[in-house]
Amino acid sequence: MALVLHQTLRRLVRSTGRHAIRLFHDEFNTPSPPAVKKGNPNDPSSAESRVPAAGSIANKYQVFRDVDATVILDVEEERQLQLQQDLEEEKIEEEPQPSNALPSVFSGINLQRGKTGVYDIDDLVTVLRLNNAENIFVCSVSQEIKYVDYICIVTGMSFRHMRGVAEFVRKIFKMKRNPTDIIPKIEGENSRDWMALDLGNIALHIFSEQAREQYDLESLWAIGAKYDRECNKPAEPLVELFERHSVYLNDLKPLKKEKTMDGNETAA
């Protein structure tokens, strides 16, 4: 019986032994998957240090690492620099503005009294331009007229604009003047067509657009009354009739009255 079993096993080994050995060899010689290398959390090149695990503290709070920190070579020196910077910032915040500082609205304006008057014509033109006055016209006046040195004419965009220009010119006049200079009055300050200021050496006229075209002072002062269309415009019939016969009125004399005995007056 034992002999038969032994022979049977030998036949099985001869017929299947080669395959069994190969399978056994392949099973134990198949390369295993590479093991995951655990990274060092302090190593910035490690994948594990860059990708925080789910539920870790890095998902809720910012992680500070030594490699991200600013290098301070001298702690005491850095502390002194920071303290000095803080003191300078506090000084700038607490530094009071000079009491004589002017608002920005006066920037670019000469606040010193002019040479030919409170306003020199260039200073007045600067003020008018800063206030957006339109179509600035300046004309010098002959000294024979003995009126002013210059006539200045501008246009205002609205009644409010005209009033604002006039008041600002007057305000600057008060800042530039000497105590002996008379503060000008705004003539026609409630007019919506024409405002004027006598600045001493300059006569300033502020018109609305319609009124400026109607009165045309530029032509009157630039080319004279002889060529001005308003001065040469035909007179109205009633005015012309009155002027033609006004010469006869010079011969008229008032009536003399005499008193009578009863105290009544009679014409002589």
Task: Check which CATH number belongs to the domain holding 185 and give it.
Answer: 3.30.460.10
* Stretch (H or E) spanning 29: helix 2-29
The verdict on pTM exceeding 0.75 is no
Is 130 within the bounds of a domain? yes
Number of helices followed by number of strands (H, E) in the chain: 8, 6
Q: Which domain holds residue 159?
A: 121-242
pLDDT at 106 (0 to 100):
81
Amino acid at position 243, single letter: E
The span from the CA of 109 to the CA of 235, in Å, is: 46
Low-confidence spans in the chain with pLDDT less than 70:
1-60, 70-75, 92-103, 224-268
Neighbours of 102 (CB within 10 A): 11
Q: Where are the beta strands (DSSP E) in 83-198?
A: 134-140, 150-155, 194-198
Is 228 within the bounds of a domain? yes
Is 96 within the bounds of a domain? no
pLDDT at 21 (0 to 100):
46
Q: Where are the beta strands (DSSP E) in 81-159?
A: 134-140, 150-155
Is 125 within the bounds of a domain? yes
pLDDT at 172 (0 to 100):
94
Is 81 within the bounds of a domain? no
**Bridging pattern class, strands 150-155 and 202-207:** parallel
pLDDT at 207 (0 to 100):
96
State the total domains in the chain.
1
Q: Could you report how far apart the first and last alpha carbons of the chain are, in Å?
A: 196
The span from the CA of 70 to the CA of 53, in Å, is: 27
pLDDT at 144 (0 to 100):
78
Is 3 within the bounds of a domain? no
The model's pLDDT over 234-259, given as tens digits with 9 standing for 90+, comes to 666 666 666 666 655 556 666 666 66
Is 188 within the bounds of a domain? yes
Is 252 within the bounds of a domain? no
